[in-house]
Amino acid sequence: MKQNKSNELKIWRVMQITITLTIALAFIVTSAGSARADSNKPSIVLVHGAWADASNWSGVTARLQADGYTVHAVPNTLRGLSADVAYVASILNTITGPIVLVGHSYGGAVITNAATGNPNVKALVYVDAFVPDEGESLLQLASTPPPPGQPASCLGGDPTTVFNFVPYPGAQNGDVDLYIKPELFPSCFANDLSVRQAAVLAASQRPIAFSALLELSGTPAWKTIPSWYLIGTLDKVIPPYAQLFMAQRANAHIIQVKASHPAMISHPSAAVDLIEKAARETDN
C-alpha cells in the first residue's frame, strides 16, 4: 500500500514538472513572437475566402511576422455574408491601434462590409477578391457576362458539373454547402500550383453555404477607406477583367501578378509587398 502511494506521488510530481515546463515553454515562445512585433506598425488582419482556410495565408503570415508586423489570420465561417461580416467585425473590435484589413476572393466581400464604420481600419487590401458595391450579391458579380473574346469564370456554367452539393445540419430553406469538384480544383482554382499541392488544397477545401452567394452587400468600406488590389492575371475563378472592373470602381491602387486565384500561395512575396505598401501609407 505504501509503495503504491509512493509511486502515485512520484507520478504526480512528474506531471507537475511537465505541466510547469509546458506552460513556461509556451510563454517563452509566445513572448519571443510578440517581441519581434513592432508596436508602431499597424496590425494586419487576413481573411480567407471560400474553398480555403486561414492556412492559405501561411507564406504571407510568416513574411509579415519576420518584418515585425502583428498578424491575425482569422477563420472565416463561410456560413453567410451577414454572419461572416459580424464575426470578422467582432474580431476587429478586439484590436487596438491601426489595422490593415486584407481579403481574398469571397473574403473581399467580407472585409468590404466588416470595415464599415470602424475608424481603426486604415487600409483595405484585396487579393483576387470580390469588391461588391451596396446592393450587389456575389452571384450577380460572378454571373456578369464576359467581354467579347474573354473567358467566363471556370465556376460558371452548369453548377452540377462544377460543385458537389452537401446538405448540412441546421440549413435553412434547403440551403447546402458547395464544394468544388476535386477533379476540377487543380485546373480551375489552383492552375499555377503543382498538381500535388492543388490536390491537397482540393481535399482540405472548406465549403461555403450557397446562400452566402445570394446575400446583398451593405455600405462598402472602400468608399471611405483607401484600397489596394492585387490582380492575378492567370485567375480563372474571378477573371482578370472582372477584378480590374471592381478594383477601378473602388479607386484602388492596382498591381498585376502572373498568378492564379490563390495568389497569396503561389506568390506570397508579391502579396506581402502590396500589404506592406498599404501599411506604410497608413503612417503618412
pLDDT at residue number 63:
98
Domains and CATH numbers, the chain: 38-284 (3.40.50.1820)
Q: What pTM does this model have?
A: 0.86
Torsion of CA 15, 19, 22, 25, to 10 degrees: -120
Task: Tell me which residues of the chain have a pLDDT lower than 70.
Answer: 1-37, 283-284
Active site annotation includes 105: yes
Q: Going by C-beta distance under 8 Å and a sequence separation of 6 or more, which residues neighbour residue 124?
A: 100, 101, 102, 103, 111, 112, 115, 221, 222, 225, 226, 227, 228, 278
**What pLDDT sits at residue 233?**
97
- The model's pLDDT over 73-89, given as tens digits with 9 standing for 90+, comes to 999 999 999 999 999 99
Determine the pLDDT at residue 248: 98
Question: Residues 240-277: pLDDT tens digits?
Answer: 999 999 999 999 999 999 999 999 999 999 999 999 99
Q: Which of 202, 203, 204 is nearest to 191 (CA)?
A: 202
Pick the catalytic residue from 34, 55, 105, 260.
Answer: 105
Pairing mode of beta strands 177-180, 163-166 = antiparallel
